[in-house]
Structure 1
Amino acid sequence: MLARFFQFDRHGTTAAREIQAGLTTFAAMAYILAVNPAILAAAGMPRGGLVTVTALAAAASTLIMGLFTNFPLALAPGMGINAYFAFTVCLGLGVPWQSALGLVFINGFAFLALSVSGIREKIINIIPFQLKMAITCGVGLFIAFIGLRNGGLVVADANTLVTHGNLGTPSVLLFFAGLLLTIILVTRGVPGAIILSILGITLAGLVIPDGKGGHLTNWPDHVVSLPASMSDTFLKLNFDYFAHDPVKATTVVLTLLLIALFDNIGTLVGVAQRAGLLDAEGKLPGAGKALISDSIGVILSSLFGTSNVVSYVESASGVAAGGRTGLVSVTVAALFLGALFFTPLILAVPAVATAPALVVVGIFMFQSVAELNLKDFHEAAPAFLIILGTPLTFSIAEGIGLGLLAFAVVYLCTGRGRQVSWLIYVLAGIFGAHLFRDLFARLF
């Protein structure tokens, strides 16, 4: 039955190989179970229930992807998007997390409409390649900066704005050692490098004092338990913020759309290429189904109570292990559900253990800088503003806005205006309204 449904003969694989590939993919992305709750908790959301929410959102969306498309793709709350949700939308703009979930829900439906109509792929083709890569790099620096801050290696300073932390502090020293360990494991190609480093740092924290009479890691009272209740976040979304500030709300939704657009399409094509699923023209048959699947996943994530799910590039590790069909996704979904019964262990993971994962994921994303053409100043300047503006303004939306505005103005003022799609000018105008909202408020 499995062979017929997942077409093993057509893809030259077996059930055993697909399940093994699923185990590999899960090991590579299981860190999200500890990292996502830690990030979203900063927005005031209950951390215990967030483990359940993260696992269920990942399991449901990954299962839909596997059964509906037969692609070996896994989904989970996206890194970068969760940081934008917590630190920029909730803490920076002051949006209650319930209202932020409402914006994620609206984004999900917009995502679905664009996917069904085919407009989603056209938008991706219209956005200049340089800006896509710059956004990826900027988000990478943003995530890495949060990791360095959470680990205590970068701290605020009244004179220099930021400076290095105290490496004589046990937690900072453990973070730095953990960061080096993670980099070494990734460099050596160790399967599940990130989750292994998180486990290693967590175990080390059991014997390292925190300076307050305890240890950096507190062993839980129970190893196995029933899944934590998600009643505090399930269906708690509301849509009040759109009525309160429609300009800011539109900007947030557009930012979520843009980040998810580039993230999902890039991962989808990259993983499909490695799996040999592209046709002779380099296109992916059934791509529309994949786009619809992750759109539904975004809607479900908002209902459960977390930021957008996205297709994970770690799916490539399962493909490298021989995975070719949706049974890989089904296996990953089952493992996420199984992890729910180990919530006490996941909650015991300290922030110092997840911080190196943020830095390393940021490095992965920043590697896209190699694709940029920095010799042409028309392209280099807007890209640079996105890359630098995103971490320094501590906002993905502000970074994208600076780059889009610069791109549109530079092309208009240098006689290249007709080379740019009208949609770029519309997006630049929307982000411009967001950036200059205070000026508009004074004038009008």
Structure 2
Amino acid sequence: MHSDCSLKTSDLAASLDRFWKVSAQKIELINREYDVSQGSPVFTVDGKYTTRGWTEWTQGFQYGSEILQFDATGDSTFLKLGKQNTVEKMAPHITHFGVHDHGFNNVSTYGNLLRLMNEGRIPENEWERNFYVMALQASSAVQAKRWTDLPSGGYIYSFNGPHSLFADTIRSLRVLAIGHQLGHAIMGENDKKTSLLERLVQHAKTTADYAVYYGEGRDLYDVWGRTAHESIFNLNDGNYRCPNSQQGFSPFTTWTRGLAWIMVGAAEQLEFLQTVEDGELEPLGGRDAIEGVLLKMATATCDFYLANTATDGIPYWDTGALNIHKLGDDVYERESDPFNNAEPVDSSAAAIGSQGLLRLGHYLNEPKYMQAGLTVMQTLLSDKYLSLDESHQGLLLHSVYHRPNGWDHIPKGQSVPCGESSMWGDYHVREAALYVQRLANDQPYYKFYL
């Protein structure tokens, strides 16, 4: 991609102002029109949200969006909605033992509300605070209990089963971090106590070791920053077996949303570790080693994104998909084309990845990544990707859900999915917009941890 090296956060002020107006209209439209009996909204078809998922992993994004809308604009209508929906509808997610998505659903709702109370943005209330704290403590333990031991550590396994590590889950480590900060742990048989911080560090290291490539000769396709969506292990002896992919094109190509989850997940954990005392990290390998693993993973994946993305910062859904070659050898030397006839772009990967670039750039004080993140955001806030049709329920256009399964809508007259939105794309573009807005206005740094 080609970063605009002159771009400043303040340059996006007018676009952000328009963005939050459009965002409010979309939230109101969904609340007015969406049939809740369908289940959680997942992605749009002809501009209307529908549901189709492996698990209920998007409801927290729906109600979390209401909370972010209040955070960005101060409109208490959205705070009331976000609180009410969190209290009435999110409880099943706290004790959902069948998913690896606690950091998505519960940090986006209970976590955002607790953060706002800590910031003084909503009034202090002891019972309300205790409610959010207990929800996050319980969620952190349930998430961390979903565990596969390895000789070298272990990982939180995906909904595919104990043999399966997903790239996505590094971003769900947020709930373990908060649980640890709240003084919580996993309690097992005979009162055996397991540290949430220990599991966080071990999962991050396993992800770095197996989901990310560093050009060190693991296979013929090993290049700096390439990622595999899924890593498969032999449960009989704990040995790593092979890469795999559920939503990408193949184990040996990079599904860009999986790449983006690691970009932002690793960068956020680097930020979180700045709040942890050296003494807590010493038994887990020490600060230098742990931060070294996360920093290598973050820089490698961000570098891969920069090298394998269109000039305006929007990636195609998989860097090695079957028909990518039809877009030409110069595909990354042109702006993204959502309406091409070969392979779709994925704006949700851009929304997630932009925050990874911005956070890594802020952490390192490195303009290379910060300017890239701002360039991505400038594109996402433009008419090309922002959903300006008032009848369309989605906020961010040209998102892709599951290309291999054929779940994404292809409009009449088009060859690939385009023009649609996803709940995770809409939520994460709001997160990234809030992040940039707070930097531009010199407001408190937007973070997930306490």
For the aligned pair, the TM-score class normalised by the smaller chain equals under 0.3
- Relative contact order, CA 8 A, sep 6+: which one is greater? 1
TM-score by length of 1: 0.23
Instruction: Normalising by structure 2, report the TM-score.
Output: 0.23
Q: Which has the larger share of helix?
A: 1
The higher radius of gyration belongs to 1
